[in-house]
Amino acid sequence: MASNHPALLPFIESRQTRHAYIDRTQTLLSAFTPKDQDVTITLPNINTNDERRPTSTYIIRSPSSKELAVLLDPQQCNCRLSDTSSSSIKLMYRAAGNGEAPSMATWDVSSSLKDQVHNCCFGGQVIIGVLLDGPDAVVVDAKRKRMSNMIGISNNGLIQNSILEPGCAIHNNSEVSNTHVMKYAAIIGCGSLTCTEETVAKASKSCAFDMYNGSMDVEVGPEAGGGRVVTVNIESTLVDLCHALNIDSNGGTSAPLVQFDSTKTEGKEVVMNVLCPHSSILHTPQTNHVHLLPHSSIDSATSVASALLLPQSTIKNGCTVSHALLQWNATLTSQSDAHHVFLMERSEVGPHSFTANAIYGPDSHVSGGEVHCTIFGPNANSHHQSLLIGILWPLGRGNVGYGSNVGS
């Protein structure tokens, strides 16, 4: 059945939204190429409800001598460059109207820099976004009042090779590199937030992890060998997975399948962390190769590597995570370890759980147990030191608890 079935529209729209944000990152990366040239870029507006038009024009240019002096003055911004010969700083701000960019390209924004940027070290190529009082101001209402008080860039040990759009909040971090932070997104109190080509290549090699397509391979079945490798997509349904494993026979009828182009996407994936509007990474020592969709978060985790989070999903409270796909409202929490996992809508792992090579159906929950090489759920629970290994349980709707060992 075609993938335009009404029930599948949220999955299709999710993929389109993800790709639109990555396209935004690629467009801004192009501003790095003409190192000493001013660039004018038209981008879709992030919050269309707050805007009168669907797009805005941004000016990206090198700072004037006065603006650079303000940025480096210990009595004003008190910032510094890690290497004056190789560091390249550009300023980004929005034009008042799509036709106003030429006249605003020479505006002096040193007063906005002084208000919004403090005590940071910049290295490599960095785009620093600044808000202007009129054209690019943040809409302050009850919902965004707290965020409006945090907007700015301050007290960061090193920021390098990053795009910091106007209206983001980046404070008290040791290192932020190869990261794109959009308006209303926040990075606060973190250790190292990086994205390296080595990490991306390692993720691709170990489980075919592909951030652009939102896909990776998960091996389910016997741990000792002979398991089945299934390619999961962040927009997959449980029906899709059963179909891929050839366990979806139901009397000759077929439920709708989400069908995406699986061709290779060389040149489309960006080697950057991407934080979409209203997403956040807070108080996490180590983060590498992540993409957070709006309203998703990483909060007080121990380490996160190669993770894609759809809206309202979260990784928090001491978790160690690698190679993870989280659908809407999915949660990894409370000192849990998760590696090569796919959590579907409203599933939850934690507290104190260990899971690897596992797929969780919608509304499934594991707490205080272990799940390996398993398809678990939907509407299933595993708790109180229970252990599941090599289980294919696509129908779910059950409970495993109190020291049960299944498949071990």
In contact, 386 and 352? CB cutoff 8 Å: no
**Token pair of 38, please?**
């001013």
Q: What is the DSSP secondary structure assignment for residue 312, as one 8-state letter?
A: T
pLDDT score at 24 = 96
- Which residue from 345, 337, 257, 356 is spatially nearest to 309, judged by alpha carbons? 345
- Between CA 179 and CA 164 the distance in angstroms is 8
Q: What is the DSSP secondary structure assignment for residue 288, as one 8-state letter?
A: E
In contact, 160 and 152? CB cutoff 8 Å: no
In contact, 333 and 352? CB cutoff 8 Å: no
SS3 267: coil
- Report CA-CA distances (Å) from 255 to 5, 13, 230, 342: 10, 19, 19, 21
In contact, 376 and 390? CB cutoff 8 Å: no
pLDDT score at 1 = 38
- Between CA 408 and CA 79 the distance in angstroms is 57
Task: Identify the sign of the CA torsion 200, 203, 204, 208.
Answer: negative
Please give the single-letter amino acid code of residue 107.
W
SS3 200: helix
Quick check: bond before 378 cis, omega within 30?
yes
pLDDT score at 32 = 83
Per-residue pLDDT of the chain (408 residues; tens, 9 = 90+): 346 678 889 999 999 999 999 999 999 998 887 666 889 999 998 766 666 778 889 999 999 999 999 999 999 999 999 987 888 999 999 988 767 888 899 999 999 999 999 999 999 999 999 998 754 555 554 555 555 568 999 999 999 999 999 999 999 999 999 999 999 999 999 999 999 999 999 999 999 999 999 999 999 988 766 678 999 999 999 988 888 888 876 555 566 777 776 665 566 789 999 999 999 999 999 999 999 999 999 999 999 999 999 999 999 999 999 999 999 999 999 999 999 999 999 999 999 999 999 999 999 999 998 999 999 989 999 988 889 999 999 999 999 987 778 875
pLDDT score at 107 = 92
3-state secondary structure 87-144: CEEEEEEECCCCCCHHHHCCCCCHHHHHHHEEEEEEEEEEEEECCCCCCCCCCCCCCC
